[in-house]
Structure 1
Amino acid sequence: MSKKERPHQPKIHSETKNSLIAIALIGIAVILILAAVDKAGPVGRFIYVILQNLFGWGYYMLPTIAVLVAFLFLIARQRVFVVTSFLGAALFIVSGLGLIDIIFENKGGFLGRIMGLLEIPFGYTASIIISLVLLIAAVLITFNASIKFKKVETEKLAEPAREAPDNEPEEAAITEPEPPIANPAAVAKMDKIKIADDFPMPPARKSPVRAKTYANYIVPPLTLLKTSVEKPTSGDLRANANIIKRTLESFGIAVEMGEINIGPKVTRYTLKPAEGVKISKILTLNQDLALALAAHPIRIEAPIPGKSLVGIEVPNKSAAVVRLGSLMAYPDFKESGPLAFILGRGVSGEPVMADLEKMPHLMVAGSTGSGKSVSIHALLVSLLYKNSPDTLRLALIDPKRVELSIYGGVPHLINGRLWPRD
């Protein structure tokens, strides 16, 4: 008789753990508020007295901080750095108590008096500055954020568009149901379009100037399209990263795991091989990684274009539906050229776009169920939202009368009908 196999113990997903921690923190915040107004019974009074002596006026910061940390757990799409978040919250409390004790004497509790000792060697003003610096650092640590300054491209803003009339109004925004006014200046904005790595593009060039206006045409609002954002189920990210690392190490490949990007259908785990490791050796382990992760199929991208990293794409347990309305609301799409269209959402979460102006020909092909019809609809809807009937004329031919019949009444059609004719 062989040894009895251990019964499989179900694991709690990391998303569920995050939700439980968030609910617990919100419950603690509510109890602290009730204890402050003497509505939590004798236990609440005891907690209030202890924490009031320990934190002073800083007691009233605790519920707010607990709710903020709970919010971090709820919105987390990727791995949550628990230690870092709590460390930032603790630093925020301590530095805040020190600031309170320095400005308002003996109001920061026991911890505030300890931090208030900074005033002895540094003086009043310098100790306040130190406390403020620690507060800002605590916020950055808690939210895993950084301070960035965006460079303003003044040259592009100051450059006038060629052949643009002096009193020409700006082009109507797509998000508002207002009649668009043809504006040659808007054509000059088609300089930057984010394209997937599979669709390299030459530098953008200017489109011909629109000569006509269509005063009676109203751009349809984006509210006609669904914009709900669904969240895919990607499983335990940390466990999968450890499985990938252990599997590669079992074949003598030392790697350092990097960031994790959750896409609508796949999750990409990035890793950096040690020096001397051949990329071809990693590519041969496709089936072994699929077996270890219990996921099929997986894709190894070695290297990731533009990075010295290897990407391993693992299918999500449940895919998320990508809504066209949420992608068309991105500023990159609104500022793109008149022939730009949406392809989908990438692994990093950014919309993937292309421009028909850069394509001599376009063929949509694939097996059954691969998304050919969805791609055609996304292309047509993108063009209809970016162009009036004067700037875009369509001739749609649908012999089977299945896919394109819904476009039968749009004013962009030549003669307002589909071919072949009845």
Structure 2
Amino acid sequence: MSWGGVGVYVLASLASFDAADLPTRVAPALAEVHNLGGPLGAYGVSGLLKWVGTAATAALGVGCLAQAWATLRPTQPDLASRGDPLRRAVGAVIALIAAASLERLLRSGPLGSLLIDAYPAGGYWGVFVGAKLAESTGPLCAGLLSVVALGLGIVLTLRRPLDAWFRAPLAPEAESTPPAVEAPAQEAELEPAPVAATPTATSRGPVRLAPVRQALPAVTLLARGELRPRPKGRDKRSQLIEDTLQQFKVSAKVVAVEGGPAVTLFALELGRGIKVQRVQGLLDNLALSLRVPGIRLQAPIPGTGWVGLEVPNEDCDTVRLRELIEHKGWQTKQPALPVFLGRDSTGKPLIADLAKMPHLLIAGATGSGKSVCMNALIVSLLMTRSTRDVRLILIDPKQVEMTPYRKVPHLMAPVVTDMREAGAVLAWLVNEMEERYGHLARAGVRQISEYNELSEAELCKRLECTPEALANEKIPTHLPYIALFVDELNDLMMIAQKEVEASITRLAQKSRAVGIHVVLATQRPSVDVITGVIKSNLPARIAFRVASKVDSRTILDSSGADKLLGQGDMLFLPPGRGQPIRALGALVTDAEVRRVVDALKGSGTQFHQGLLHYARTSAAGGRPRSGPRSRSASGKQDPKYLEAVRAVLAQGRGSVSLIQRKLEVGYGRAARYLDLMCEQGIVGPARGAKPRELLITLDEWEQGLGRRDAA
């Protein structure tokens, strides 16, 4: 509001300016000052007119109003006062001098009658710059140079290109619904889920489909963050920290303060002979003096010789995923799998590349923000990468955390909620890793990025085959990244710890080069869940608030997570870094997730038939899928059940009414048949009044039945 007040005051003083208000300009002077700004406004405008003229003075008032409007309107982040103050000040000076020069050049034109005659046109700066330019280059060239300088000053001041002002009126709806960015044309190498009984060959390899163009979701589907003022009382807290340490005879001085969304970082320069351990032992006393729940020590601050104290703010900000995606810094690094984590203790965006981690372990107590972090990671990939770039496998023991994503086309299989089936999924992923290594070895490359850069002609040349042979052998020309998300690792370990640990270990050790990345989350960070073998192969870790220092050391190999505030406050340990980074995680609400999924589900699911077939046959050869009482065995002994399966797969839809009509059985028996098909992975779960989705074809089911009979 202060910018608006200054702008109105300058314009009002200029509009009501009268040289007779000043005894030094006109004699006799008026008895009373009639200027709306009073004596201060009269003398202030007089000084501006004398130095830069009427036009620049008016531009100064209008500029203050524009700055106030930009500050109060957060929908225009480019106009907000978050740029370099020195650059903005230089731009304002250039704009004022250019306006003064233009006024001087136009003084003899028709606009001259609108200017104040009591002062030189353009002021002293206008006379100096405009007159000198006109003498050396001519009036026309001098005017053009002044216009260019004026535009440069506006760009430096407002941090927005001039052409953006002219494009904005042509697309007034661009802010609310900007056009979605189209991803490059893709060859879908993963076959979509069948909806009709079209016979296809069963294969684990990729299947080529026609190129599909997929649009990425618009960033406006996500909520915008609120701009909050910086927390007050920093100087008071700095003095209180120094006084408290001085009471215990610890000489230290606060040399820098950086404010973040959840904590404020106070940089301490310790006196000569003061050990860091002494400050570490006084953290509870400092927390008591500052009246905060706890303080975390960062020693040293990277790149400095200072010690950092992370003090919680009185009010915690909210970090939105949208503001991180709109940040332009991450695009210059060109990450393969960008994930937006939040903002660190200095307020800087914390953006990482999942492909470089290459695996991530997330742990924290219930309600600390672990599930929200998982949602932020998944939505980050959905917002920035198409199905050609990345595919997802989601394992959700809770059955509610990841079900909103069941319709996104990035899924390679339905969301896995049965932990006994999860073991088969992990085993398939290990086989997929080995198969990808075979493709890379035949192509003579080391990493998936090098393989994807090969053209089809170059790939055929390296494999010494024709494009037709490449298609017949089902060798992919492009390999998408695969991201595996496991929401509750402890549930998985309780059911089949040996098999799960072996699969995760093999994936963590070898899968980076072939583009398979694992994200594990658990709310029980104990050594029987996060074993030494698993932790040693997951170098990147995120710790939310935990109950004890022992749990913190289990996750991070250091304490600190027990001092966190909760509600998204976290410690991120990137690979190759000794100290974790304090940050506040990005918030993604359920409404935002639904909007993103609704924008993507129009492309339809593209389940990988090799994964579905492997999981189905593994489940058929092992334990039943639902409880101790197996109804699948009784279903296979019923000859009508086999007829029901053939009828459903032949018609291409699964419904109770179809089975009743084809087999002439009652509703109860038909519903039981359909439930058995769901247990065996033949059809998907119920979808209300809609028919159930088919997960396999008739030929695939008959081939699997023949193998079981032969066995």
Q: TM-score, normalised by structure 2?
A: 0.37
Tell me: CA distance 1:381–1:54, structure 2 relative to 1, closer, same or farther (3 Å).
closer
Q: Check the 8 A contact 2:216/2:383 in 1, yes or no.
A: yes
2-side partners of 1:22 and 1:264: how far apart?
A: 25
2:392 to 391, 394, 399: 394
- 2: distance between equivalents of 1:391 and 1:52? 61
CA distance in 1, matches of 2:345, 2:390: 32
TM superposition shift of 1:372: 0.6
User: Where does residue 292 of structure 2 map in the other structure?
Assistant: 295
Q: Give 1:28's aligned residue.
A: 9
Give the counterpart of 1:176 among 168, 173, 180. 180
Q: Which residue of 1 aligns with 2:342?
A: 344
1:170 is aligned to none
Q: For 1:93 and 1:390, how far apart are their aligned partners in 2?
A: 48
Distance 2:272 2:118 in 1: 56
Q: 2:334 is paired with a residue of what secondary structure? A: coil
Aligned equivalents of 1:275, 1:66: Cα separation in 2: 52
In structure 2, the partner of 1:279 is 276
The number of equivalent residue pairs is 324
Cα distance in structure 2, aligned partners of 1:354 and 1:94: 43
Residues 90-149 of structure 1: CA distance to partner in whole angstroms, max 9, x if unpaired? x9999999999x999x9878xx889x99xxxxxx99xxxxxxxxxxxxx9xxx9xxxxxx
Q: Letter of the aligned partner of 1:179 in structure 2?
A: A
Partner of 2:252: 254
Q: How many angstroms does 1:60 deviate by?
A: 6.0
Q: How does 1:160-171 map to 2 (within 5 A)?
A: none
List aligned pairs for 1:366-405, cutoff 5 A.
Answer: 366-405=364-403
CA contact (8 A) 2:179 2:218 kept: yes
Partner of 2:233: 236
Deviation of 1:213 (Å):
8.6
Does the C-alpha gap of structure 1 residues 94 and 274 become closer, same or farther in structure 2, counting only changes over 3 Å? farther
SS in 2 for 1:176: coil
Shift of 1:382: 1.8
Identify the structure with the greater helix proportion: 2
Q: Distance in 2 between matches of 1:180 and 1:390?
A: 9
Which residue matches 1:222? Answer: 219
Post-superposition offset of 1:373? 0.5
Say whether the 8 Å CA contact 2:298–2:307 is kept in structure 1. Answer: yes
The code of the aligned residue for 1:379 comes to L
* SS class of match (2:342): strand
Whole-angstrom distance in 2 between the partners of 1:381 and 1:310: 36
Name the counterpart of 2:657.
Answer: none
State the match for 1:320 in structure 2: 317
Contact 2:265 2:308 in 1 (8 A): yes
Q: 1:264 aligns with which of 261, 265, 268?
A: 261
**Which digits, 9 at most, give the CA deviation of each residue in 1:352-411, with x for residues without a partner?**
133333345432210122111011111111222343324433221223221101101011
CA shift in 2, pair 1:213/1:275, >3 Å: farther
User: Counterpart in 1 of 2:361?
Assistant: 363
CA RMSD of aligned residues (A): 5.1
Structure with the greater alpha carbon radius of gyration:
2
State how far apart, in whole Å, the 1-side matches of 2:329 and 2:96 are. Answer: 42
Alignment match, 1:42: 34
Match of 1:165 in 2: none
Q: Whose RCO is larger (CA < 8 A, sep 6+)? A: 2
Q: What is the alpha-carbon distance in structure 1 between the residues aligned to residue 303 and residue 367 of structure 2?
A: 31
Secondary structure of 2:6 counterpart: helix
- Give the secondary structure class of the aligned counterpart of 1:327: helix
Distance 1:270 1:216 in 2: 51
Among residues 410, 413, 428, which one is paired with 1:412 in the alignment? 410
Q: Distance in 2 between matches of 1:314 and 1:388?
A: 40
Q: Secondary structure at the match of 2:339?
A: strand
Tell me how far 1:342 sits from its aligned partner: 1.7
Given that 1:214 and 1:388 are in contact with CA atoms closer than 8 Å, whether structure 2 keeps it comes out as no
Deviation of 1:294 after TM superposition, in Å, equals 2.1
- List per-residue Cα deviations over 1:238-280 (Å, max 9, x = no partner): 322232233334434131422x322111122223334443322
CA distance in 2, matches of 1:216, 1:113: 61
In 2 relative to 1, CA 218–97 (structure 1 residues): closer, same or farther, beyond 3 Å?
closer
1:314-344 CA distance string (max 9 Å, x none):
2122212111122122334334333331211
**Normalized against structure 1, the TM-score is what?**
0.59
Residues 1:55 and 1:303: Cα distance change in structure 2 (over 3 Å): same
Shift of 1:286: 1.4
With 277-286 and 49-58 compared, the bigger mean Cα shift is at 49-58
* Identical aligned residues as a percent: 28
CA distance in 2, matches of 1:212, 1:355: 29
2:304 maps to 307
**In 1: Cα distance, 2:95 partner to 2:119 partner:** 10
Q: Residues of 1 paired with 2:209 and 2:118: CA distance?
A: 70
**Shift in CA distance, 313/99, structure 1 to aligned 2, threshold 3 Å:** farther
Q: 1:408·1:418 contact (CA, 8 Å) conserved in 2? A: no
Q: Is the 8 A contact 1:408 1:416 kept in 2?
A: yes
Aligned partners of 1:263 and 1:349 also within 8 Å: yes
**How has the CA–CA distance of structure 1 residues 175 and 220 changed in structure 2, closer, same or farther, with 3 Å as cutoff?**
same
Unaligned runs of 5+ in 2: 20-31, 72-79, 108-116, 129-134, 137-152, 158-177, 188-207, 419-678, 680-684, 686-711
Alpha-carbon spacing, 1:387–1:60, altered in 2? closer, same or farther (3 Å): closer
Q: Secondary structure at the match of 2:391?
A: coil
In 2, are the aligned partners of 1:97 and 1:108 still within 8 Å (CA)? no
Q: Which amino acid aligns with 2:373?
A: S
Shift of 1:35: 2.0
Secondary structure of residue in 2 paired with 1:44? coil
What amino acid is aligned across from residue 407 of structure 1 in structure 2?
Y
Residue type at the aligned position of 1:235: K
Query: Could you tell me how far 1:283 is from its partner in structure 2?
Result: 2.3
Provide the rounded CA distance (Å) in 1 between the counterparts of 2:329 and 2:46: 53
Q: Secondary structure at the match of 2:355?
A: helix
8 Å contact 2:269–2:305 — kept in the other structure?
yes
For 1:237 and 1:213, how far apart are their aligned partners in 2? Answer: 60
CA contact (8 A) 1:29 1:64 kept: no
